[in-house]
Structure 1
Amino acid sequence: MKVVFASTESQEEKIKELIDHFYSDIFPAYFTDGDIQKYERLKVLNTSKSHFEQFGTLKDAYQVIASLQTLIAILETKTLDGQYMETFYKNVSILKDYGFYFPFEYEQFEVSKLAKADEISLYTKPANQMLI
């Protein structure tokens, strides 16, 4: 007999939080607002009820969380070069295995960051909020 633990709500919330981080911090550093809107329409990293039903075990959910965290760590590095390429594609493959759409090539992030150095995005979270 094998005991398997189901994924938890807190894991599902963590996955949603990491995907929100992609849209508010990672994508604005690399792509224009128009591009990000297109990614939303294409359902890039979109979560649905069926995704969470696929995470039948704690291991499945943790693999998705670890893959998202690894991609974030890679894409937040100051100088993105070829040393992380293999790790990038391994984690993209894991996400695809769990039904997440992440249609990017490593090279897109190498080139895009240079072009977006000083632009401000509507997707970026504000540094502070004004109270009325």
Structure 2
Amino acid sequence: MKTVFSSTEEQEQEIASLVSRFYESVFPKYFTESEILHFREIGVLKPNQSSVTYLATLRDAFQVMTCLQVLMSILDKQKREDFMESESEELFQHNITLLNECGIFFPFYYDHFSSINHEANNEMQMMDIQVANQYLV
């Protein structure tokens, strides 16, 4: 007999928050809006329907949270020039493998994030502008 602890509601909320951050902050830097909508339709970063193990245990939930955080960290580092690409690529792929083993659908490779979508990047910059007058909002 083996005793395991189930995931907590807080962990599930944190995972939902990380997934939202991917869709709102990370994907727009690399993909167009229509591509992102397609990702939602096909269930990117959602549990596979056939997956019984998704967040079944405390360990799985921590694994998913950690993988998502590592992927975001690598993509954030990619903008700067102080990283080793081969090591980052290996770590990136390892975390994708772990996500898929936990039943989270993430069909990308490191190369998908190698070039920034300039059209999407310009839109993101426009969203970050602080308004000087509340009547312009």
Q: TM-score, normalised by structure 2?
A: 0.77
Classify 1:118/1:94 alpha carbon distance in 2 versus 1 (closer, same or farther; 3 Å). Answer: closer
Instruction: Report whether the alignment pairs 1:65 with 2:65.
Output: yes
Task: Show the counterpart of 1:19.
Answer: 19
Name the structure 2 match of 1:38.
Answer: 38
Aligned residue pairs, count: 129
Give, as a single letter, the amino acid of the residue that structure 1 aligns with 2:31: F
CA positional deviation for 1:3: 4.3
Verify: 1:9 aligned to 2:22, yes or no: no
Counterpart residue number, 1:96: 100
Question: Does structure 2 conserve the Cα–Cα contact (< 8 Å) formed by 1:25 and 1:125?
Answer: no
Deviations 1:4-32 (A, max 9, x none): 32210000000000000000000011111
Percent pairwise identity: 35
Deviates more, 1:60-69 or 1:40-49: 40-49
Question: Which of 62, 84, 94 is 2:88 aligned to?
Answer: 84
RMSD between superposed Cα atoms in Å = 3.2
TM-score by length of 1: 0.79
- 2:4 & 2:127 partners in 1: Cα distance? 38
Give the partner amino acid of 1:83: E
Alpha carbons of structure 1 residues 61 and 128: separation in structure 2 relative to 1, 3 Å: farther
SS at match of 2:7: coil
TM-aligned CA distance change 1:40 to 1:105, over 3 Å: same
CA distance in 1, matches of 2:56, 2:93: 24
Aligned residue identity for 2:35: D
Distance 2:51 2:42 in 1: 16
Q: 1:86 corresponds to which letter in structure 2?
A: E
Q: Which amino acid aligns with 2:111?
A: E
Displacement, 1:50? 8.0
* Partner SS for 2:89: helix
What is the distance in 2 between the residues matched to 1:38 and 1:117?
15
1:16/1:47 contact within 8 Å kept: no
Could you tell me how far 1:58 is from its partner in structure 2? 1.2
